[in-house]
């Protein structure tokens, strides 16, 4: 595997700002066996699939202060046996447990006030743990037929955990508890990452460090379904139906899905919520989804006033029929924040769950409103919600309303460069820097060390980078992904040179095996000539928030002792480039069809970056060494060190330089700006590379051939692209497929970004090329049609073909959808006749 950064390039970074959600693959977690404590009892009780050990004989692992404590029991109670005993504290007391790792734990306290406990009005107390107050002035209301379970999620250090119970000052006051659970949470349950924050003004800066405080579960709701009990839930939780929270019951109806819920990696796991939450939803109460209905479904949840809450919304598209690509809907929180939910962007599969986290500051109404409603861009005008969890962030306050300008500037730019050998490149540099100088780049707040070196300046700019980030440079990083250096040393056998699989300007890449057996690629930047700290941070941030089957996942990182190490999923079959060159003339490593499949996969990954729910992200360095292949030759796009989100409003970050020579958007030199269409250009070069099996820039060739993009276009315009195809493919490409491919390449390589297609169009074209490759249709009759269908023509909805479909839209105007049979149930002539039919209407 190779993350080669070409030496010949110019680069620039700015930090990413907005993300909406993140996912992590489920580690091999099982619900632990301890601690489950049956308070005030001597006996162990098997309930909720766990053994609740009596606190009086639970050995040395569980201690409690006996002074001032007593046990109570009442066997006449009909309730669960767990609630027939309790421990009572008449003075400040504690339970003490041994925890063996620094981690996030679930802590649950069960309270069931039975009369023999004493006068319950007197039970008024405080509970704290690990220096945090969890419950204060707590008083269990009388007469509950149900036990009250208070649940907290908190990060706790290894060692002794003291859970302190303190009766309220008064004489006869006491504290009690019926059962205690403290157990390790699955690592993916709550991620300590920057979360989008909904402030009293609307959307605000990201919220960092949600696990710096304990989270108290306030609501846990199975929308559209029934009660999920502790017996059946994966983490012994209780989920209640949403109906009592629904504001206008006739706006919504229950949707129940009876097939299997899938949990592909990249989405939510069963520990986030069980099947019974994801297989039910509320959807808009309408008949037929394409009518133009226009109303919202709204829920209202009681919450504490003026404090931040972690709000987790669970979704699972169980309403789309064949693909969820055309389905989007809107989400509103308090009517002052709105966001588009695009399930396909999270996970391009039906019945595959995902969730979105927000930190929401409650207002002074004591309620929180959440609504979903139809999106005007969606083909199906409906909206869904499967589950809601609301947790109060204990001990943090919502910023006062009126505090409007908290928006510290967090964007900064790093401009850097690596100088390569080509004189041409040097000229480009000179030109670029002159321009930069002219523009008096006031917005550049930090410089990459490379730029400094290039200009002959000092070498300590790494410090500049560090200090230029407001607050801690690691504030936004996902600490859950941190891997200790010892783990890295283990995985790479102390950076054994035999395990090195790549080396470049940034440092080295090793193949390794983590302690748990996961194979990984470890990219270690070397101080002094590695990637910049800013790039390092960017890559962590971008990757930890995006999961997609065609994007290489980040598994972890290590920043101990000034190391800058990134750990990725291991891609067994290396880079696309490695497979293109060096094959012999008769036997191709990949057939044309396989190459198209790889391109199409990569296009899906890039399309996701451009349109996914994390907002627009421009990759900025698409090239054949950044497209990697896994053991099944599935292509994934890698190396996001240079990516950044393309928010239109930050006009001041438009002065940026980057890209790999040979792939760089020529328009860049005119407007010094990279857009999504720059990725399309680079991808066009990759397409040519795949076709011709030669380098994007090959200085060893005659002048007119050096640049593959120019060379390819030259032949494409002559209509003789076949003259430069990979020798091993000669005669094996269907001429229609090749022609379509050539046209696609030509469109991608248009001089002007606006003339280039979107990735979804490219994707469509590639699928179409595959289709043509499979068909044996003679060339002549369809000559015109193929150019017409490529994209851009308004096409009425056509949904009757059986397989995969791709939307054809351009510049936000939806033309309806056109369906291509990917798995050749249809032959080309049928496709064309469908098309002409529809065009004729
Ligand atoms: C191994 O550990 C890594 C990093 O902590 C994690 O991402 C991965 O899911 C784990 N794999 C297994 C099989 O547990
Ligand atoms: C729990 O208790 C049952 C018997 O009540 C016993 O068979 C089982 O081994 C116990 N499990 C654990 C994990 O201690
Ligand atoms: C859920 O449980 C509550 C309490 O047991 C009960 O009142 C309610 O009817 C149940 N709801 C459903 C839909 O089963
Ligand atoms: C929440 O919904 C209730 C009921 O419709 C409404 O009265 C209230 O104004 C809403 N609050 C906000 C902040 O939108
Ligand atoms: C849905 O609710 C949001 C927020 O309150 C509002 O802006 C929007 O207009 C509503 N949509 C419809 C169709 O009522
Ligand atoms: C394509 O399908 C049509 C109609 O089913 C059939 O008449 C024609 O022979 C098929 N052509 C090929 C090349 O399979
Ligand atoms: C060319 C190459 O490296 N192929 C490998 C792709 O991955 C599979 C599965 O690991 C290997 O068996 C191939 O050798």
Tokens of 159: 């060692």
Report the side by side order of strands in the sheet with 93-99: 62-64, 93-99, 159-167, 125-129, 132-138
E strand intervals along 240-286? 240-241, 252-256, 280-284
What integer is the mean pLDDT of 175-194? 88
What integer is the mean pLDDT of 161-180? 87
What pLDDT digit, counting tens, does each position of 647-660 carry?
A: 433 333 333 344 57
Which one is predicted more confidently, 405 or 160? 160
What pLDDT digit, counting tens, does each position of 233-243 carry?
A: 999 999 999 99
- Residue with the nearest Cα to atom 6 of ligand 5? 335
DSSP 305-329: TT-EEEEEEEEE--S-SS-STT--E
> Could you tell me if 744 and 762 are in contact, meaning their C-beta atoms sit under 8 angstroms apart?
yes
Find out whether the beta carbon of 51 lies less than 6 Å from any atom of ligand 2.
Answer: yes
Question: What is the 296 CA–ligand 5 centroid distance (Å)?
Answer: 6
Look-up: residue for tokens 């009126």?
402
In the predicted model, is pLDDT for residue 838 greater than 60? no
- Residue with the nearest Cα to atom 12 of ligand 3? 226
In the predicted model, is pLDDT for residue 460 greater than 90? no
Find out whether the beta carbon of 187 lies less than 6 Å from any atom of ligand 1.
Answer: no
Closest among 5, 6, 8, 708 to 426, alpha carbons compared:
8
> Could you tell me if 763 and 698 are in contact, meaning their C-beta atoms sit under 8 angstroms apart?
no
Assign 292 a pLDDT band (cuts: 50, 70, 90).
Answer: low
- Residue with the nearest Cα to atom 8 of ligand 1? 27
Domain-located, residue 553 = yes
Catalytic residue among 55, 361, 621, 761: 621
> Could you tell me if 661 and 425 are in contact, meaning their C-beta atoms sit under 8 angstroms apart?
yes
In the predicted model, is pLDDT for residue 698 greater than 50? yes
Phi/psi region, residue 692 (left: phi>0; alpha: psi -120 to 50; beta: rest), is alpha
In the predicted model, is pLDDT for residue 249 greater than 80? yes
User: For the whole model, what pTM was predicted?
Assistant: 0.52
Helix H or strand E segment including 753 = none
Q: Which residues pair with residue 10 across a beta bridge?
A: 417
In the predicted model, is pLDDT for residue 833 greater than 70? no
Nearest ligand 4 atom to alpha carbon 363: 13
DSSP 193-218: S-EEEEETTEEEEEEP-GGGS-EEEE
25 to each of 54, 184, 499, 569, how far by Cα in Å?
35, 17, 25, 11
> Any idea how long the chain is?
841
The preferred substitution site among 146, 226, 227 for testing ligand 3, maximizing ligand atoms within 8 Å of CB, is: 227
Question: What is the 761 CA–ligand 6 centroid distance (Å)?
Answer: 27
Tokens of 4: 């080669």
Listed range (67-81, 374-388, 634-648, 732-746) with the worst mean pLDDT: 634-648
Find out whether the beta carbon of 375 lies less than 6 Å from any atom of ligand 5.
Answer: no
Question: What is the 278 CA–ligand 3 centroid distance (Å)?
Answer: 18
Helix H or strand E segment including 535 = helix 533-545
In the predicted model, is pLDDT for residue 553 greater than 80? yes
Question: What is the 297 CA–ligand 4 centroid distance (Å)?
Answer: 12
Question: What is the 463 CA–ligand 6 centroid distance (Å)?
Answer: 68
366 to each of 296, 299, 349, how far by Cα in Å?
21, 14, 38
Assign 527 a pLDDT band (cuts: 50, 70, 90).
Answer: low
Assign 244 a pLDDT band (cuts: 50, 70, 90).
Answer: very high
Tokens of 401: 């309303």
Same domain, 593 and 638: yes
In the chain, what is the straight-line distance between the N-terminal and C-terminal CA atoms, in Å?
51
Tokens of 588: 């191709």
Helix and strand tally (H, E) in the chain?
A: 16, 42
Domain-located, residue 321 = yes
Last residue of a domain, one of 393, 412, 437: 393
What pLDDT digit, counting tens, does each position of 10-35 carry?
A: 222 222 222 223 333 345 788 998 88
CATH of the domain at 794: 1.10.510.10
> Could you tell me if 196 and 338 are in contact, meaning their C-beta atoms sit under 8 angstroms apart?
no
Same domain, 100 and 156: yes
Domain-located, residue 444 = no
Pocket of ligand 6 (CB under 6 A): 776-777, 827, 829-830
Rounded Cα gap, residues 350 and 343, in angstroms: 9
Beta strand pairing status for 519-525 and 564-569? antiparallel
Phi/psi region, residue 77 (left: phi>0; alpha: psi -120 to 50; beta: rest), is beta
Pocket of ligand 3 (CB under 6 A): 226-227, 241
Same domain, 205 and 124: no
Rounded Cα gap, residues 764 and 759, in angstroms: 8
- Residue with the nearest Cα to atom 13 of ligand 4? 334
Q: How many CB atoms lie within 10 A of CB 231?
A: 10
**pLDDT score, position 505:** 56
CATH of the domain at 559: 3.30.200.20
Nearest ligand 3 atom to alpha carbon 240: 1
DSSP 589-632: SS-HHHHHHHHHHHHHHHHHHHHSTT--EE-----GGGEEE-TT
Ligand in nearest proximity to the CA of 371:
5
Same domain, 555 and 666: no
- Residue with the nearest Cα to atom 4 of ligand 1? 555
Residues 6+ apart with CB under 8 A from 503: 509
SS3 742: helix
In the predicted model, is pLDDT for residue 266 greater than 50? yes
**pLDDT score, position 531:** 60
What pLDDT digit, counting tens, does each position of 626-649 carry?
A: 999 998 999 999 877 556 554 433
SS3 149: strand
106 to each of 189, 214, 217, 237, 747, how far by Cα in Å?
10, 10, 10, 10, 54
Q: Which residues pair with residue 71 across a beta bridge?
A: 87
What integer is the mean pLDDT of 415-438? 35
The preferred substitution site among 221, 240, 241 for testing ligand 3, maximizing ligand atoms within 8 Å of CB, is: 241
In the predicted model, is pLDDT for residue 424 greater than 80? no
Percent residues over pLDDT 70 in the chain: 72
Closest among 386, 389, 371 to 251, alpha carbons compared:
371
In the predicted model, is pLDDT for residue 298 greater than 90? yes
Q: How many CB atoms lie within 10 A of CB 480?
A: 20
Question: What is the 369 CA–ligand 4 centroid distance (Å)?
Answer: 6
Question: What is the 247 CA–ligand 4 centroid distance (Å)?
Answer: 9
Rounded Cα gap, residues 567 and 553, in angstroms: 9
Which one is predicted more confidently, 457 or 208? 208
What integer is the mean pLDDT of 556-578? 87
Question: What is the 285 CA–ligand 4 centroid distance (Å)?
Answer: 21
Domain-located, residue 136 = yes
**pLDDT score, position 747:** 94
Rounded Cα gap, residues 753 and 112, in angstroms: 66
Which one is predicted more confidently, 460 or 298? 298
Beta strand pairing status for 519-525 and 554-558? unpaired
- Residue with the nearest Cα to atom 2 of ligand 1? 516
Same domain, 513 and 614: no
Domain-located, residue 454 = no
Find out whether the beta carbon of 202 lies less than 6 Å from any atom of ligand 5.
Answer: no
Beta strand pairing status for 50-54 and 36-38? parallel
Question: What is the 828 CA–ligand 6 centroid distance (Å)?
Answer: 8
**pLDDT score, position 452:** 23
What integer is the mean pLDDT of 812-831? 29
Mean pLDDT of the chain: 74
Last residue of a domain, one of 156, 184, 212: 184
Catalytic annotation present for 496? no
Burial class of residue 797 (count of CB atoms within 10 Å of its CB; 0-12, 13-18, 19+): middle
Tokens of 722: 């076949």
The preferred substitution site among 518, 521, 522, 544 for testing ligand 1, maximizing ligand atoms within 8 Å of CB, is: 518
In the predicted model, is pLDDT for residue 444 greater than 50? no
| Helix residue ranges per DSSP H, 656-734 | 668-671, 676-692, 708-718
Rounded Cα gap, residues 715 and 713, in angstroms: 5
**pLDDT score, position 41:** 87
In the predicted model, is pLDDT for residue 295 greater than 60? yes
Question: What is the 338 CA–ligand 5 centroid distance (Å)?
Answer: 9
Percent residues over pLDDT 90 in the chain: 32
Residues 6+ apart with CB under 8 A from 239: 220, 221, 222, 225, 227, 228, 233, 273, 276, 277, 387
**pLDDT score, position 564:** 85
Same domain, 640 and 722: yes
Listed range (115-129, 158-172, 291-305, 463-477) with the worst mean pLDDT: 463-477
Assign 197 a pLDDT band (cuts: 50, 70, 90).
Answer: confident
Find out whether the beta carbon of 373 lies less than 6 Å from any atom of ligand 5.
Answer: yes
Domain-located, residue 58 = yes
CATH of the domain at 34: 2.60.120.430
In the predicted model, is pLDDT for residue 225 greater than 60? yes
What integer is the mean pLDDT of 60-88? 78
Rounded Cα gap, residues 706 and 782, in angstroms: 34
Same domain, 561 and 583: no
Assign 515 a pLDDT band (cuts: 50, 70, 90).
Answer: confident
**pLDDT score, position 343:** 85
Q: Which residues pair with residue 123 across a beta bridge?
A: 174
Radius of gyration of the chain (CA): 30
> Could you tell me if 481 and 544 are in contact, meaning their C-beta atoms sit under 8 angstroms apart?
yes
Rounded Cα gap, residues 15 and 641, in angstroms: 10
Maximum distance among all Cα pairs of the chain, rounded to whole angstroms: 98
In the predicted model, is pLDDT for residue 81 greater than 50? yes
> Could you tell me if 383 and 283 are in contact, meaning their C-beta atoms sit under 8 angstroms apart?
yes
What pLDDT digit, counting tens, does each position of 86-97 carry?
A: 888 888 899 999
Domain span including residue 303: 2-20+190-393
Closest among 377, 397, 439, 315 to 811, alpha carbons compared:
377
Tokens of 94: 């504690």
Nearest ligand 6 atom to alpha carbon 827: 1
**pLDDT score, position 824:** 29
What integer is the mean pLDDT of 243-254? 91
In the predicted model, is pLDDT for residue 534 greater than 80? no
SS3 741: helix
Find out whether the beta carbon of 46 lies less than 6 Å from any atom of ligand 2.
Answer: yes
- Residue with the nearest Cα to atom 11 of ligand 7? 631
Same domain, 172 and 217: no
What integer is the mean pLDDT of 678-690? 94
Same domain, 497 and 598: no
- Residue with the nearest Cα to atom 5 of ligand 5? 335
Same domain, 720 and 704: yes
Same domain, 161 and 112: yes
Rounded Cα gap, residues 412 and 13, in angstroms: 8
**pLDDT score, position 544:** 77
In the predicted model, is pLDDT for residue 214 greater than 90? yes
The preferred substitution site among 771, 774, 825, 830 for testing ligand 6, maximizing ligand atoms within 8 Å of CB, is: 830
In the predicted model, is pLDDT for residue 375 greater than 80? yes
The sign one gets for the Cα dihedral 344, 350, 352, 355 is positive
Count how many domains the chain has: 4
Last residue of a domain, one of 554, 569, 584: 569
Bond before 35 cis per omega within 30 degrees: yes
Nearest ligand 1 atom to alpha carbon 516: 1
Ligand in nearest proximity to the CA of 300:
4
Same domain, 180 and 241: no
**pLDDT score, position 542:** 73
Residues 6+ apart with CB under 8 A from 799: 805, 817, 819
- Residue with the nearest Cα to atom 12 of ligand 7? 631
What pLDDT digit, counting tens, does each position of 321-337 carry?
A: 877 777 889 999 998 88
Listed range (558-562, 591-595, 617-621) with the worst mean pLDDT: 558-562
641 to each of 530, 534, 535, 537, 616, how far by Cα in Å?
12, 9, 5, 8, 16
Assign 738 a pLDDT band (cuts: 50, 70, 90).
Answer: very high
Which one is predicted more confidently, 417 or 87? 87
The preferred substitution site among 145, 147, 220, 226 for testing ligand 3, maximizing ligand atoms within 8 Å of CB, is: 226
| DSSP, res 554 | E
SS3 299: strand
Pocket of ligand 7 (CB under 6 A): 572-573, 631
Domain-located, residue 412 = no
- Residue with the nearest Cα to atom 14 of ligand 2? 51
In the predicted model, is pLDDT for residue 397 greater than 80? no
Rounded Cα gap, residues 55 and 39, in angstroms: 5
Ligand in nearest proximity to the CA of 522:
1
SS3 385: strand
DSSP 510-523: EEEE-TTS-EEEEE
Q: Which residues pair with residue 161 across a beta bridge?
A: 97
Domain-located, residue 100 = yes
Which one is predicted more confidently, 605 or 171? 605
Nearest ligand 6 atom to alpha carbon 828: 1
- Residue with the nearest Cα to atom 4 of ligand 7? 573
What integer is the mean pLDDT of 329-354? 85
């Amino acid at each position: 595997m190779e993350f080669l950064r070409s030496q010949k390039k110019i680069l620039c970074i700015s930090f990413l700002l907005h993300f909406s959600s993140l996912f992590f693959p489920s580690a091999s977690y099982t619900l632990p066996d301890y601690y489950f404590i049956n308070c005030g009892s001597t006996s162990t009780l098997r309930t909720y699939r766990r053994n609740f050990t009596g606190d009086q004989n639970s050995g040395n692992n569980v201690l409690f202060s006996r002074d001032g404590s007593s046990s109570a029991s009442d066997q006449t109670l009909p309730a669960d046996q767990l609630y027939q005993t309790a421990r009572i504290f008449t003075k400040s007391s504690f339970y003490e447990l041994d925890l063996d790792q620094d981690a996030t734990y679930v802590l649950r306290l069960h309270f069931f006030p039975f009369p023999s406990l004493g006068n319950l009005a007197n039970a008024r107390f405080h509970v704290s743990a690990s220096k945090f107050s969890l419950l204060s002035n707590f008083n269990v209301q009388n007469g509950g037929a149900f036990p009250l379970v208070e649940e907290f999620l908190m990060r706790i250090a290894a060692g002794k955990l003291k859970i302190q119970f303190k009766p309220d000052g008064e004489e006869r006051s006491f504290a009690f508890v019926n059962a205690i659970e403290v157990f390790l949470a699955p690592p993916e349950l709550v991620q300590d990452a920057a979360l989008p924050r909904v402030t009293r003004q609307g959307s605000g800066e990201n919220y960092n460090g949600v696990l710096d405080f304990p989270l108290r579960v306030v609501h846990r709701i199975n929308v559209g379904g029934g009660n999920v009990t502790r017996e059946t839930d994966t983490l012994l939780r209780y989920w209640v139906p949403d109906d009592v929270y629904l504001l206008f019951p006739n706006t919504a109806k229950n949707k129940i899905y009876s097939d299997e819920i899938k949990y592909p990696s990249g989405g939510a796991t069963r520990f986030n919520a069980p099947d019974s939450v994801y297989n039910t939803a509320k959807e808009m109460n309408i008949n037929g989804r394409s009518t133009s209905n226009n109303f919202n479904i709204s829920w209202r949840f009681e919450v504490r006033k003026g404090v931040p809450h972690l709000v987790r919304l669970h979704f699972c598209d169980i309403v789309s029929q064949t693909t969820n690509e055309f389905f989007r809907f809107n989400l509103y929180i308090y009517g002052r924040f709105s966001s588009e939910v695009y399930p396909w962007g999270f996970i391009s599969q039906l019945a595959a769950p995902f969730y979105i986290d927000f930190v929401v500051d409650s207002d002074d109404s004591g309620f929180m409103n959440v609504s979903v409603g139809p999106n005007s861009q969606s083909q199906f005008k409906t909206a869904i919600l499967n589950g809601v969890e609301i947790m109060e962030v204990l001990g943090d306050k919502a910023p006062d309303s009126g505090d409007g300008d908290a928006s510290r500037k967090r964007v900064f730019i790093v401009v850097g460069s690596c100088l390569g050998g080509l004189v041409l490149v040097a000229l480009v540099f000179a030109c670029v820097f002159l321009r930069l100088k002219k523009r008096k780049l006031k917005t550049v707040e930090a410089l990459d060390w490379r730029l400094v070196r290039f200009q002959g300046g000092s070498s300590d700019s790494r410090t500049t980078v560090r200090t230029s980030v407001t607050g801690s440079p690691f504030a936004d990083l996902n600490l859950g992904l941190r891997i200790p250096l010892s783990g890295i040393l283990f995985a790479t056998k102390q950076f054994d040179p035999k395990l090195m699989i790549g080396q470049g300007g940034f440092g080295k890449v090793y193949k390794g095996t983590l302690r748990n057996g996961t194979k990984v690629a470890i990219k270690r930047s070397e101080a002094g000539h590695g990637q910049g700290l800013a790039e390092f941070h960017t890559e962590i941030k971008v990757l930890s928030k995006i999961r997609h089957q065609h994007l290489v996942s980040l598994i972890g990182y290590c920043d101990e002792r000034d190391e800058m190490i990134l750990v990725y999923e291991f891609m067994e079959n290396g880079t696309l480039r490695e497979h293109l060159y060096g094959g012999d003339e008769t036997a191709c490593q990949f057939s044309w069809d396989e190459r198209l499949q790889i391109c199409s996969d990569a296009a899906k990954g890039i399309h996701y970056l451009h349109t996914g729910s994390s907002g627009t992200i421009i990759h900025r360095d698409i090239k054949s060494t950044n497209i990697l292949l896994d053991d099944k030759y599935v292509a994934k796009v890698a190396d996001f060190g240079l990516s950044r989100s393309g928010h239109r409003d930050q006009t001041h970050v438009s002065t940026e330089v980057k890209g790999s020579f040979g792939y760089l958007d020529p328009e860049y030199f005119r407007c010094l700006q990279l857009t999504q269409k720059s990725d399309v250009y680079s991808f066009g070069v990759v397409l040519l590379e795949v076709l011709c099996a030669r380098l994007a820039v090959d200085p060893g060739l005659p002048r007119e051939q050096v640049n593959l993009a120019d060379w390819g276009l030259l032949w494409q315009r002559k209509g003789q692209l076949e003259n430069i195809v990979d020798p091993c493919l000669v005669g094996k490409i269907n001429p229609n497929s090749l022609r379509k491919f050539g046209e696609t390449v030509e469109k991608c390589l248009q001089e002007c970004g606006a003339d280039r297609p979107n990735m979804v169009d490219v994707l469509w074209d590639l699928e179409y090329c595959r289709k043509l490759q499979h068909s044996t249709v003679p060339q002549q009759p369809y000559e015109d049609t193929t150019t017409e269908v490529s994209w851009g023509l308004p096409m009425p909805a056509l949904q009757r073909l059986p397989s995969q479909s791709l939307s054809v839209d351009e510049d936000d105007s939806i033309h309806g959808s056109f369906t291509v049979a990917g798995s050749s149930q249809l032959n080309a002539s049928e496709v064309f006749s469908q098309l002409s039919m529809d065009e004729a209407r």
